[in-house]
């Protein structure tokens, strides 16, 4: 019976994925039908769109080379090296195909997201002339296309692979393809967007005192392109990666237990709930954009709980597993709310940091950094509680079925529960850069002050949700990598036939942990260096443009936007590989030196420090950003005051923290976990110790 | 035979400790005999001395209350709760005495250090008029008194307790007393010193543009007092704590193996080597202060290696254990050298950060932070290699003696080896604030430009050594806490009779690890908040003084130094407890909720993130400090340039990083480990899960 159930729910997953694509296509058509205000707006919008695609093409062409190289390596050594006795060429070949498939889907989701976002921004700006409600719907639907594409492709891919191969290794390879591409997309897009943002701010706001998005600024188009390639494609890739990794880990754990059906049931019902949530998100009477976004999220959560409860009841699934999923979902929401506390602009931390800006930039940085450190506690505690509670809740099932593994299934289903609402989360998140762009377009397209005000309101809502989304994304990645760690153990056990564990008192495990702790730090450092270096190059270019043609500053001649974009792209491409490769190669080095025990410790260290640094950087960055906005709203002297100058410095420091390094760490820990699981057999065969 | 060997070497330890006290007393007398240049110098020196003692008295009186409360708790519950069947009042009473003894010794070492440092600073300034060589010897001997006092008291205390009680629990309690006092001393002194330093810099250097140590600055005396209470007493307490904790952990592990003799042999021979090293440290022909300090360290290392080799040979100790110690010593020196690479003023990172200062403070902070993140890798790798290598080296001894535990003895003896040269390290380290003070005194005592130049040269050498010392201190604490983790396991095993381990895949262990990771972050955040808040209060006070009496700025009337010191002291006292208590109470909370398994994970998480954050903050802070000095030396525009302003902001951010939070983390992780070992039985009896 289980066998049929599996296939039934995998089939339903495919159907619901296709419905999600249908909704996305409907939204896309709807957005296309909306009007465009004027020719100038159209041409600026076109400029952003073209250059976003130019960046994406450049990035994908580099990544294609990487994918080809890795595919060849996979054919040679994964899951079993061809030189090993038990090797099968066909097996390895299927793995490579699954890997390519994963990379392609991840790239596709990013491409779809950008395609729609770079039309929706223009339409949203235009609709803002008419009404905030329509404008909101347009921005949100633009984001929802990305949301539907991300969850649809990940679920479709996993379900298809499971039906065709039934082999957990191929799903891991699919996930690895998606994650490694996501890592590059996040790192590359993150470096690009912050390079442009910092350079635009320093030369425009700080030096010239002109407003954000002023067309006199040579980096202004690059900045808007960055919102798309960094935030839409990058953040989408991040959650795509967590989502597919959680599914892959659960499949690995669920297959021996014959519990794959519940995974596909919950994942597909989560997508269904998100679809309904997305369709219902609009501003009601007396409503605000923030309320509309939050209500959509809460609706999705409630529907998920109800749907899965009914499915559990009807299909005779275990109620304890349902409970584990709900724990994950609730903890995810709570962690999102605590992130909001640390970064929300009406909360104490932001006000305190804004206040300390009056005493100079050193205090701005110190207080924001200290709050960032504090903010790690609730998230780490939440992840710990979710993992512990879901484990303990599902442990008794082992007795009933006289087996082991249900406790680990509990953890991984908790991650699935947390990620159930990911369709809604990505929609909320991609909404942010679209309305941010719309604001810029309203300014550059001369749509007038009223429109800018509406766009500002939409943008503010986007910023608040962004904080919640980021906390959520980190928590989801945390729980996912814990289940990936469990999956790694499962893989090792299935290959060796021996039950393993990773005892901290084993010095090889501890050695691995010490190295693992350092990797997210090194990874972040390399990304920060990348942003640093590139934005300095870009600032120089802008200064040169100003020097060559003084008319640019006066607004009488047009700056060379294209040159800035080329420089930012080139820099991002140069810097995106080293950080990512360091993470992958250090994993292989630890594995080949210390074997699976060292890798167990390494993954643990990596997860622990990765979560700490990700929370620290994301929240400190968000906090500085909002402290600056709080001062700009007229507090502590407002714009142009000494406090504001200090706040701008804090914000600039926070830029690569929150949009480059911080969110990339999620993906880094997932990729490292997947590399480990895939290489488990290799490490068993060839490690030195 | 082992029994007698133990007592023999414990006895030798006592003898060598007493010799160390003799040397310290001789140095003290020698320093007293040196001349004092003039009355003004004498009176300023007196002011610093009096106020340092005032701070210390205030601090110790608060800590005395804490010690009394903890003693009562110990009598009630440690090692065995009085309400338990196997309880013994006498046992608990001895524990409390050992604890008080440890606190007292730690306080005593700090007191001795300050007593001598606040005389040596005046004498060093005076001798600088005559000759750099004599001046160096005076500064160094002042530091060496602290070095000898620290190592002498810790070794004497441990040896006496071992001889009298023979019980590892009492040595743990002694160590806990020393460590908890060190934690408060480090936190309190660290907050005080940086409060004064930041306030003095911001109002003096930045606002008024007057030089450092200018007597017109109301916070100048507080700043110099801070050097003593923060750097002499605080840093001494830090290494005191690591040293005694390493000895305690080794005793716990060595007693069941009958290998206590080798511990006392190596510890006492390390002290002997340090005594000789200290006596030989002077500037030779064509020598520099830096060379003199380094040569002393290398001499001490070589002597330690030779002495212990001979002892191992003569006493038939195991050569493998000797090897483990030497590995620890070598790795310690290497980590110190890598810290020097990241913070040394003639190395690439400092130059790069100084260069990026030209682009504004945001880049200063970002590049320094990124280098700080990178700097964690070599240290973590080094600690991992030392632990792994010493474990593997000593593991075969288990076969020979048909037992288990030698592998853990290997790790703890590696920590002892690393700490063997601690007498020399503390001497080098306390030399820094003494010559820093001497520089200030030369300025305030009108000793002239030539003297200031000599003092500057002595000070520069102090800064370089400081970086090495800090890297070393963190590494030593890292290895020590790993052996404390082993000791904790040993304690649990001895109480339960069951061999335990901490499997990461156990969700209780993982839960503990997630919480453990957050604690050093929260601890650091609270300390940074403390410094932030207090220095803002102090800045306000200084502004008030300037406003009330304009003559202060012109130098016609004297500022109210005392009021600044009172404010800084009051602030430090208010902020020192919360951070420290959070660390202690969260340990108890985790233990009572999750039991020993959760604590195993908690300690691991704590160690891992503690080491990461300690390296990040210490090295980033040191880097910013030296980048500022590099610019002040005339590079990138020199003093007063935009680059210099950016560098000053970086330096201010780095102040609480490198002198408050960073080095306190070492002590925090040690204290938490000791609390865990002491409470093991309690957790076994009373945990919820």
Residue owning tokens 């130059």: B351
Please state which of the ranges A230-234, A544-548, B43-47 shows the lowest mean pLDDT. Answer: A230-234
Residue contact A509–B511, C-beta within 8 A: no
- B518 vs A contacts (CB less than 8 Å): 376-377, 380-381, 612
- Evaluate if residue B80 carries a pLDDT over 80: no
Q: A198, A362, A530: best mutation site toward chain B, by most B Cβ within 10 Å?
A: A362
Model confidence over A314-373: pLDDT tens digits? 999 999 999 999 999 999 988 888 888 998 878 899 999 999 999 889 999 999 999 999
End-to-end CA distance of chain A: 45
Q: Which two tokens stand for residue A360?
A: 């100079």
Distance of alpha carbon A685 from alpha carbon A688, whole angstroms? 9
- B526 vs A contacts (CB less than 8 Å): 370
DSSP letters spanning B531-592:
HHHHHHHHHHHHHHHHHH-THHHHTSS---HHHHHHHHHHHHHHHHHHHHHHHHHHHHHHHH
The ipTM (two decimal places) reads 0.92
Q: Over pLDDT 90: what percentage of chain B?
A: 46
What is the rounded average pLDDT for all residues in chain B?
A: 89
Model confidence over B241-274: pLDDT tens digits? 888 989 999 998 999 899 999 999 999 999 999 9
Q: Which of A526, A473, A426 is nearest to A188 (CA)?
A: A526
Distance of alpha carbon B181 from alpha carbon B253, whole angstroms? 24
SS3 B503: strand
Distance of alpha carbon A124 from alpha carbon A442, whole angstroms? 9
Q: What is the pLDDT of residue B137?
A: 92
By C-alpha distance, the chain A residue nearest B360 is: A649
Model confidence over B439-459: pLDDT tens digits? 889 888 888 888 888 888 888
Residue contact A370–B525, C-beta within 8 A: yes
Closest to B517 (Cβ–Cβ): which among A380, A411, A486?
A380
Q: B338, B357, B373, B374: best mutation site toward chain A, by most A Cβ within 10 Å?
A: B373
DSSP letters spanning A416-482:
HHHHTTHHHHHHHHHHHHHHHHHHHHHHHTT--HHHHHHHHHHHHHHHHHHHHHHHHHHHHHHHHHH
- A392 vs B contacts (CB less than 8 Å): 507
Q: What is the pLDDT of residue A368?
A: 95
Q: What is the pLDDT of residue A184?
A: 86
Model confidence over B632-682: pLDDT tens digits? 889 999 988 999 999 999 999 999 998 889 888 988 998 898 888 888 888
By C-alpha distance, the chain A residue nearest B376 is: A518
Residue owning tokens 């943008």: A459
Q: What is the pLDDT of residue B3?
A: 53
Q: Are A134 and A13 in contact (CB under 8 A)?
A: no
Is the pLDDT higher at B239 or at B567? B567
Q: Which of A608, A619, A602 is nearest to A662 (CA)?
A: A619
- A361 vs B contacts (CB less than 8 Å): 361, 649
Average pLDDT over every residue of A455-482: 82
- Verify cis geometry, omega within 30 degrees of 0, for the bond prior to B106: no
Q: Are A387 and A479 in contact (CB under 8 A)?
A: yes
Phi and psi, residue B210, nearest 5°: -90, 155
Q: What is the pLDDT of residue A283?
A: 85
Distance of alpha carbon A175 from alpha carbon A676, whole angstroms? 13
Q: Which of B577, B532, B17, B607 is nearest to B272 (CA)?
A: B17
Return all residues near B38 (Cβ < 8 A) that are at least 6 apart: B445, B446, B447
- Evaluate if residue B21 carries a pLDDT over 50: yes
Q: Which two tokens stand for residue B140?
A: 């160094």
Please state which of the ranges A377-391, B233-247, B354-368, B381-395 shows the lowest mean pLDDT. Answer: B233-247
Average pLDDT over every residue of A548-566: 86
- B359 vs A contacts (CB less than 8 Å): 536, 539
Average pLDDT over every residue of B159-179: 90
Cβ–Cβ pairs < 8 A, chains A and B: 226
Find the DSSP H helices in A206-288. Answer: 220-226, 235-254, 260-280
- Evaluate if residue A458 carries a pLDDT over 90: no
A560 DSSP 8-state letter: -
Neighbours of B460 (CB within 10 A): 18
By C-alpha distance, the chain A residue nearest B483 is: A505
- Evaluate if residue A133 carries a pLDDT over 80: yes
Residue contact A366–B514, C-beta within 8 A: no
Distance of alpha carbon A67 from alpha carbon A60, whole angstroms? 10
SS3 A503: strand
- A408 vs B contacts (CB less than 8 Å): 505
Model confidence over B216-229: pLDDT tens digits? 888 888 988 888 88
Q: What is the pLDDT of residue B2?
A: 46
Please state which of the ranges A92-101, A388-397, A487-496, A545-554 shows the lowest mean pLDDT. Answer: A487-496
Q: What is the pLDDT of residue A125?
A: 92
Residue contact B504–A604, C-beta within 8 A: yes
Q: What is the pLDDT of residue A529?
A: 93
Residue contact B514–A198, C-beta within 8 A: no
- A198 vs B contacts (CB less than 8 Å): 362
Residue contact A380–B489, C-beta within 8 A: no
Residue B1 banded pLDDT, cuts 50, 70, 90? very low
Residue B89 banded pLDDT, cuts 50, 70, 90? confident
């Amino acid at each position: 019976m289980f066998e049929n159930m599996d296939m039934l729910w995998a089939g339903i997953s495919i159907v619901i994925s296709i419905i999600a694509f249908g909704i996305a296509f409907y939204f896309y058509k709807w957005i296309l039908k909306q009007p465009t205000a004027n020719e100038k707006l159209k041409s600026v919008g076109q400029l952003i769109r073209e250059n976003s695609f130019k960046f994406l093409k450049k990035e994908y062409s580099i990544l294609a080379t990487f994918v080809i190289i890795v595919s060849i390596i996979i054919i040679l050594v994964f899951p079993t090296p061809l030189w090993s006795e038990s090797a099968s060429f066909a097996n390895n070949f299927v793995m490579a195909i699954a890997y390519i498939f994963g990379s392609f889907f991840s790239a596709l989701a990013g491409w779809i997201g950008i395609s729609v976002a770079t039309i929706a921004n223009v339409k949203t700006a235009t609709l803002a002339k008419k009404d905030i409600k329509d404008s909101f719907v347009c921005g949100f639907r633009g984001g929802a296309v990305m949301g539907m594409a991300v969850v649809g492709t990940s679920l479709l891919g996993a379900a298809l692979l499971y039906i065709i191969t039934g082999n957990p290794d191929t799903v891991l390879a699919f996930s690895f393809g998606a994650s490694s591409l996501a890592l590059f997309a996040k790192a590359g897009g993150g470096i690009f967007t912050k390079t442009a943002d910092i350079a635009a701010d320093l030369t425009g706001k700080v030096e010239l005192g002109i407003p954000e998005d002023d067309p006199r600024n040579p980096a202004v188009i690059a900045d808007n392109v960055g919102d798309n390639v960094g935030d839409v494609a990058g953040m989408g890739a991040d959650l795509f990666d967590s989502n597919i990794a959680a599914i892959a880990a659960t499949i690995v754990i669920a297959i021996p237990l014959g519990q794959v059906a519940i995974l596909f049931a919950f994942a597909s019902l989560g997508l269904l709930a998100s679809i309904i949530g997305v369709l219902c998100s609009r501003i009601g009477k007396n409503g605000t954009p923030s309320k509309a976004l939050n209500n959509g999220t809460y609706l999705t959560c409630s529907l998920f709980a109800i749907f899965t409860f009914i499915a559990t009841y009807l299909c005779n699934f275990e109620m304890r597993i349902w409970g584990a999923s709900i724990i994950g979902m609730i903890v995810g929401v709570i962690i999102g709310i605590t992130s909001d506390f640390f970064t929300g602009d009406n909360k104490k931390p932001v006000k305190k940091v804004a206040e300390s800006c009056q005493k100079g930039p050193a205090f701005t940085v110190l207080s924001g950094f200290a709050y960032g450190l504090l903010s790690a506690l609730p998230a780490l505690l939440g992840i710990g509680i979710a993992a512990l509670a879901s484990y303990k809740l599902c442990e008794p099932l082992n007795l009933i079925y006289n087996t082991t593994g249900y406790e680990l299934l509990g953890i991984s289903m908790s991650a699935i529960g947390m990620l159930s609402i990911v369709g809604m989360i990505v929609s909320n998140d991609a909404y942010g850069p679209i309305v941010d762009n719309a604001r810029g377009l309203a300014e550059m397209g001369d749509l007038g002050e009223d429109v800018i005000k509406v766009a500002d309101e939409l943008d503010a809502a986007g910023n608040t949700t962004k904080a919640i989304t980021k906390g959520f994304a980190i928590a989801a990645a945390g729980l996912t990598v814990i289940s990936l760690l469990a999956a790694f153990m499962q893989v090792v056990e299935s290959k060796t036939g021996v039950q393993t564990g990773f005892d901290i008192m084993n010095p090889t495990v501890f050695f691995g942990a010490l190295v693992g702790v350092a990797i997210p730090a090194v990874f972040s450092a390399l990304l920060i260096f990348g942003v640093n270096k590139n934005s300095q190059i870009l600032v120089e270019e802008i200064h040169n443009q100003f020097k060559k043609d003084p008319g640019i500053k006066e607004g009488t001649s047009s700056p060379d936007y294209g040159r800035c974009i080329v420089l930012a792209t080139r820099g991002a491409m140069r810097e995106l590989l080293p950080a990512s490769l360091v993470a992958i190669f250090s994993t292989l080095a630890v594995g080949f030196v210390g074997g699976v025990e060292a890798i167990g410790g390494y993954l643990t260290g990596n997860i622990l420090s990765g979560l700490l640094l990700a929370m620290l950087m994301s929240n400190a960055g968000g906090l500085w950003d909002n402290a600056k906005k709080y001062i700009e709203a007229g507090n502590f002297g407002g714009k142009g005051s000494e406090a504001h100058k200090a706040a701008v410095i804090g914000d600039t420091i926070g830029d690569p923290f929150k949009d480059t390094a911080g969110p990339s760490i999620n993906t880094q820990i997932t990729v490292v976990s997947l590399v480990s699981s895939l290489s488990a057999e290799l490490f068993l065969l060839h490690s030195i110790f």
